Amino acid sequence: MVYEDVVIKVRSTFEEADARRIYEHVAFEIDIVGEAAGAMYFEVSNRACVIEPYNYYDNDGVFVASADVLIKLSNLEVKLKDALESGMLEFRGNEQKLKLCLDNIRLPGVKYD
């Protein structure tokens, strides 16, 4: 697997997410470690999700994970909350912005409580 494949897979899942309930700008950098290493960012802007293969230095937080974990998240095999709680995914940054996204972004095909 190469970096570009990870970006394409993450983009295909998360750009389809429904962020209409978020009215503020949110930006997270995602650092891929190990195989397919690189950086990309996830942004909520104008109530839509955007994934781009660039560093985002003025971010609200940074996620760190392997490509395998990001692919599992993108395939909806693992929930983001579970990945964070288990340590598969690390987050450093603004916990309130993270909670805003976790509570309000909806992925297609996923049932929410």
CA-CA distance, 29 to 38, in Å (whole number)? Answer: 11
Question: Tokens 């930006």 label which residue?
Answer: 27
Q: What residue segments make up the domains of the chain, in order of their start?
A: 3-104
Tell me the pLDDT of the chain (113 aa) as tens digits: 899 999 999 999 999 999 999 999 999 999 999 999 999 999 999 999 999 999 999 999 999 999 999 999 999 999 999 999 999 999 999 999 999 999 999 998 788 77
| CATH code, 3-104 | 3.30.1050.10
Q: What is the pLDDT of residue 88?
A: 97
Q: What is the pLDDT of residue 110?
A: 81
- CA distances (Å), 15 to each of 34, 86, 99, in order? 24, 25, 18
- CA distances (Å), 21 to each of 29, 42, 46, in order? 21, 16, 10
Q: What is the pLDDT of residue 108?
A: 84
CA-CA distance, 6 to 10, in Å (whole number)? Answer: 6
The pTM of this model reads 0.93
Q: Could you tell me if 21 and 55 are in contact, meaning their C-beta atoms sit under 8 angstroms apart?
A: no
